[in-house]
Amino acid sequence: MDEEDTRDYTEPCAQCSDVKWGITDEGKFYCRSCHNVIEKTKEVTTADSFTANTRIFSINRGLRKKTKLEQGREWYVCEGFQFILNLQADAIQALGVCPQFKDEVLCNFWRRYLQKSRQAYTRKPLEDVVRLRKVSESSQSSQSPGGLSSLSESDPEGGQSDENSGLASTSRSRSPLSDDIMSVCSGSVDGRLHRPQRQRAKMLMSMPMTLAFCSMSLLWLRESITLSELLRFVAEGHIPYINVYQSFPEELKLYGKDTHIFRVDSFPSCESVLQHIYNIAAFLDLPRFPEITENCVLHPNVLCVKYLMEANLPDEMHTYTWRVVKKTGMGEEASLTFDPLAKPVIPINYDVKAAAIVIVALKLIFKLDDEFEWSLSNDAESVNIKNKEGVESFNFRKWYKTMKRALDKANEGVEEDLARYMWQCKKPIFYSSKTRSIVVKKKRMVVNLQQQFRKLTGSVPRTPQQPPSSFQFTWDEESQDKPCFHGHSLKAFLKEGAVCEPVNTGYWHTALKQCKKMYCKEHLKLEEPHLPRSYIFVLNLFSFMLKVDSAMLHTEVHQVERLLLKAKAPKNPSVKRRKRVHHLQASFDPMFMS
């Protein structure tokens, strides 16, 4: 090997004048006669030395038999999802949840799902899997040993032998999946079964369902991590989700249909994961979940305190949110506890419900009609000028400017992070054995071009990943850019001599007619041109905090207002009252708050 690397260097040695060069372990040239080491080193060709004029030669070593590791082993899609759930459970436990989360709750849900779907722990496995495995084994036995060359490389119409034609016709009569079997290869045994229609019909696993299993387990243990917070941790990279299949063991060869099952190009929405939770719970016939009591962190009174702190609102606001919860009955255990067997099953999104209660409390005090809140801000300024040494009165205008700057900066950061997000994994994926060489070659060219581009432009240091936190906004009392309003007073907005009765005597709301859909996005689009800008800003602020759609939060505000007006309305309302509550501007006396 040394002779090949040193044959082009013909300079004589400076001490003995011989031309007998060797290479040391450090890669330097030395004279074999006198053992003199010189400064010349071995030339190593790397990807960094790639230039446009470089010619690359390859030697064809002929066909060779693939090893067992390259062929992979026989595996099922549920094994891949079990590996992903294990990684996600470890990441969630690292956040400080209950130790029973993984082994006692999530594992039991997963075993029950495998048994109910007849993928494992059953004597009657899924018929399609059995037929598909028989067809795959018979087709592989009829082929020459070529490793990943599967049925996709054969031509079912005219390019195969009579024996293979008879096999194809037999497989068509056995299973309706034979078209996919004969056209698309898959690394897993049952990868061809996972089509969108069959996933909905037979509750086959998908990537968003892994988060649904995790969220359902957290809900069973009544942990503080809500669904919106879980999805935010996924987007920040604290919980593996995007390109998680690149962590699969080498034995699990992923290609063909498997890439469409485990590869995702976007983060799931809160509505979709919530729907998966209810579908899975109904499919597993789960009993009633543990009660959500007032001491539980998922109770609206506790969550409202959290969102009041993050939204930089005064602490006294909790008195009004508590009274809204009490008056509407939203704090009762029967309405908060998840029961999959109840009919009809009503989706419970605890964080969105708590944010809607805070917004309703803001409307009760400040009205948020683009007029009344600004007049109250002028009154608060005059009070603060007269009382400089006492507790400062809450100023809605200053709060709005502070939160507007923080929200704009946070939105810019999210857009930059989303633009820099690497949706493509480092490990190349291919959809068939024919395209494997092409994909690997393209991936190698992309890596070389990226390295050359970094050398020309200079490497930009990446900001380190921030540790996970329950709060996206932090406030400091001494900071000028992020002033804290937690200790400010609301006495300037109360009637004289009243304890909790605000100066505002009116309450506006939109049409409270319930849509057929659970969360109607068109409802907000039609009403948004007529809604006050202050209300839209508050809606967008909490939507950003929860990472949910504004229409979803707007619909939840409607639900709270409907319960509030129903609690205030008399037993036998008049026709005039019925019509008035559907107007855009409706008078509502908040005397019930006292």
CA–CA separation, 276 vs 420, rounded Å?
29
Q: Which residues are paired to 31 by β-bridges?
A: 21
**Phi-psi domain of 256 (left: phi exceeds 0; alpha: psi -120 through 50; beta: other):** left
- pLDDT, residue 523, reads 66
Closest listed residue to residue 180, CA positions, set 200, 156, 163: 156
Q: Per the domain annotation, does 174 fall within a domain?
A: yes
Q: Among 63-72, 546-555, 576-585, which is the least confidently predicted range? A: 576-585
Assess whether 207 and 230 both reside in one domain: yes
Q: Per the domain annotation, does 142 fall within a domain?
A: yes
CA–CA separation, 500 vs 495, rounded Å?
8
| pLDDT over 80 at 560, yes or no | yes
Burial 439-462 (b: 16+ CB within 10 A, else e): eeeebeeeeeeeeeeeeeeeeeee
Assess whether 150 and 206 both reside in one domain: yes
Closest listed residue to residue 348, CA positions, set 309, 311, 302, 300: 300
Q: Per the domain annotation, does 442 fall within a domain?
A: yes
| pLDDT over 80 at 395, yes or no | yes
pLDDT digits (tens, 9 = 90+) for 319-330: 999 999 999 999
Q: State how far the alpha carbon of 434 is from the alpha carbons of 149, 197, 422, 430, 439, in Å.
A: 8, 28, 26, 9, 10
Supply the DSSP string of 361-387, one letter for each residue.
Answer: HHHHHH--SSSHHHHHHHHHHHHHHH-
- pLDDT, residue 145, reads 33
| pLDDT over 90 at 3, yes or no | no
Q: State how far the alpha carbon of 384 is from the alpha carbons of 80, 395, 500, in Å.
A: 62, 9, 21
- pLDDT, residue 47, reads 44
Assess whether 534 and 582 both reside in one domain: yes
pLDDT digits (tens, 9 = 90+) for 486-533: 999 998 888 776 677 888 888 888 877 666 665 566 666 777 788 899
| pLDDT over 80 at 275, yes or no | yes
Assess whether 255 and 369 both reside in one domain: no
User: What is the mean predicted confidence (pLDDT) over 541-563?
Assistant: 91
- pLDDT, residue 307, reads 94
Assess whether 119 and 238 both reside in one domain: yes
- pLDDT, residue 356, reads 95
Write down which residue in 218, 252, 283 finishes a domain: 283
- pLDDT, residue 177, reads 41
Assess whether 207 and 137 both reside in one domain: yes
Assess whether 327 and 430 both reside in one domain: no
Burial 192-227 (b: 16+ CB within 10 A, else e): bbbeeeeeeeebbbbbbbbbbbbbbbbbbbbbbbbb
Q: In terms of DSSP bridges, do strands 21-23 and 28-31 run parallel, antiparallel, or are they unpaired?
A: antiparallel
**Residue 334, exposed/middle/buried by CB under 10 A (0-12, 13-18, 19+)?**
exposed
Closest listed residue to residue 286, CA positions, set 115, 112, 403: 112
- pLDDT, residue 4, reads 67
pTM, two decimals, is 0.74
Q: What is the largest CA-CA distance in the chain?
A: 117
How confident is residue 201, by pLDDT bands cut at 50, 70 and 90?
Answer: low
User: What is the mean predicted confidence (pLDDT) over 542-550?
Assistant: 92
Assess whether 36 and 114 both reside in one domain: no
Q: Residue 483: how many CB atoms within 10 A of its CB?
A: 17
* Complete edge-to-edge strand list for the sheet that includes strand 21-23: 21-23, 28-31, 37-41
How confident is residue 274, by pLDDT bands cut at 50, 70 and 90?
Answer: very high
Write down which residue in 283, 314, 349 finishes a domain: 283
User: What is the mean predicted confidence (pLDDT) over 8-14?
Assistant: 79
Assess whether 103 and 239 both reside in one domain: yes
DSSP state, residue 445 = H
- pLDDT, residue 590, reads 44
- pLDDT, residue 316, reads 92
Cα-Cα-Cα-Cα dihedral sign, residues 315, 320, 326, 329: negative
Q: Which domain holds residue 570?
A: 300-412+485-593
CA–CA separation, 87 vs 213, rounded Å?
13
Ranges of beta strands (E only) in 453-505 are none
Q: Residue 365: how many CB atoms within 10 A of its CB?
A: 25
pLDDT digits (tens, 9 = 90+) for 90-115: 999 999 999 999 999 999 999 999 99
How confident is residue 44, by pLDDT bands cut at 50, 70 and 90?
Answer: low
Q: Among 197-211, 279-293, 457-471, 579-593, which is the least confidently predicted range? A: 579-593
Q: Per the domain annotation, does 322 fall within a domain?
A: yes
pLDDT digits (tens, 9 = 90+) for 48-96: 444 444 343 333 334 444 444 445 578 888 999 999 999 999 999 999 9
Higher-confidence residue of 430 and 593: namely 430
| pLDDT over 70 at 272, yes or no | yes
Q: Per the domain annotation, does 464 fall within a domain?
A: no
Closest listed residue to residue 331, CA positions, set 292, 361, 360, 288: 292
Specify the length of the chain in residues: 594
Tokens of 425: 């994994």
Write down which residue in 243, 258, 283 finishes a domain: 283
Assess whether 30 and 102 both reside in one domain: no
Q: What is the average pLDDT score of the chain?
A: 76
Q: Per the domain annotation, does 193 fall within a domain?
A: yes
Q: Per the domain annotation, does 232 fall within a domain?
A: yes
Supply the DSSP string of 134-201, one letter for each residue.
Answer: HHHHHHHHTS-S-SS--GGGS-TTTSS-HHHHHHHHHHHHH-TTHHHHHH--BSSSSGGG--HHHHHH
Assess whether 338 and 275 both reside in one domain: no
pLDDT digits (tens, 9 = 90+) for 351-369: 999 999 999 999 999 999 9
CATH number reported for the structural domain that contains residue 10 in this entry: 2.20.25
Higher-confidence residue of 1 and 74: namely 74
Q: Per the domain annotation, does 191 fall within a domain?
A: yes
Supply the DSSP string of 401-444, one letter for each residue.
Answer: HHHHHHHHHHHHHHHHHHHH---S-SS---SSSSSHHHHHHHHH
Tokens of 565: 């007006």
Q: State how far the alpha carbon of 172 is from the alpha carbons of 134, 157, 182, 325, in Å.
A: 13, 13, 10, 60
How confident is residue 137, by pLDDT bands cut at 50, 70 and 90?
Answer: low
- pLDDT, residue 429, reads 64
Q: What's at 298, amino acid-wise?
A: L
Closest listed residue to residue 508, CA positions, set 371, 404, 315: 371
CA–CA separation, 351 vs 362, rounded Å?
17
Q: Which range scores top for mean pLDDT: 99-113, 139-153, 500-514, 574-588? A: 99-113
Element (H, E) at 447: helix 436-457
How confident is residue 196, by pLDDT bands cut at 50, 70 and 90?
Answer: low
pLDDT digits (tens, 9 = 90+) for 466-499: 778 888 888 877 667 788 999 999 988 887 766 7
Q: What's at 354, amino acid-wise?
A: A
Task: Give the total number of structural domains in the chain.
Answer: 4
3-state secondary structure of 245: helix
Q: What's at 82, amino acid-wise?
A: Q
Assess whether 23 and 133 both reside in one domain: no
User: What is the mean predicted confidence (pLDDT) over 434-442?
Assistant: 68
Instruction: Report whether 509 contacts 360 (CB < 8 A).
Output: no
Report the chain's C-alpha Rg in angstroms: 33
Instruction: Report whether 352 contacts 546 (CB < 8 A).
Output: yes
> Where are the alpha helices (H) located in 2-106, listed in sequence order?
2-6, 68-71, 77-93, 100
User: What is the mean predicted confidence (pLDDT) over 262-274?
Assistant: 89
Q: Which residues are paired to 186 by β-bridges?
A: 256
Supply the DSSP string of 77-146, one letter for each residue.
Answer: HHHHHHHHHHHHHHHHHTTT--THIIIIIIHHHHHHHHHHTTSSS-SS--HHHHHHHHHHHHHHHTS-S-
Higher-confidence residue of 153 and 585: namely 585
- pLDDT, residue 240, reads 93
CA 294, chain centre distance (Å): 29
Q: Among 28-42, 268-282, 375-389, which is the least confidently predicted range? A: 28-42
Residue 53 CB contacts under 8 Å (≥ 6 apart), including other chains = none
